[in-house]
């Protein structure tokens, strides 16, 4: 996973732009069709909104690319909501 966060306000705990990407690789094949190879990548772009204390709510858009069996590549567009609890 590779992640970046850039503050959009002058205060340290304000709204921030966030972006990250994660890639998955299948390390072995299975009898039900999965093959050992690149599996999927999930880039996410959104906003980090401050909540109580140091916690944040991250709202964004995910554009997931899946390398499916039978040489199909599918793309899913997903709304991403993440609650990040910090003490």
- Encode pLDDT of 31-40 as tens digits: 776 667 777 8
Question: Rounded mean pLDDT of the chain?
Answer: 87
Q: Residue 54 — very low, low, confident or very high, per pLDDT cuts 50/70/90?
A: confident
Q: How far is Cα 31 from Cα 39, in angstroms, rounded to an integer?
A: 16
Give me the mean pLDDT over the 32-61 stretch.
87
Domain range for 35 is: 2-84
CB atoms within 10 A of CB 64: 16
Q: How far is Cα 32 from Cα 86, in angstroms, rounded to an integer?
A: 40
Per the CB < 8 A criterion, the answer to whether 54 and 70 are in contact is no
Q: Please state the pTM of the whole predicted model.
A: 0.75
In this predicted structure, what is the pLDDT of residue 8?
95
Per the CB < 8 A criterion, the answer to whether 33 and 6 are in contact is no
């Amino acid at each position: 996973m590779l992640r970046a966060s850039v503050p959009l306000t002058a205060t340290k705990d304000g709204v921030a732009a966030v972006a990250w990407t994660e890639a998955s690789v299948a390390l072995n094949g299975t009898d039900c069709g999965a093959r050992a190879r690149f599996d999927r990548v999930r880039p996410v772009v959104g906003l980090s909104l401050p909540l109580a204390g140091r916690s944040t709510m991250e709202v964004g858009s995910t554009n997931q690319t899946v390398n499916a069996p039978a040489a199909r590549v599918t793309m899913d567009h997903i709304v991403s909501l993440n609650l990040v609890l910090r003490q």
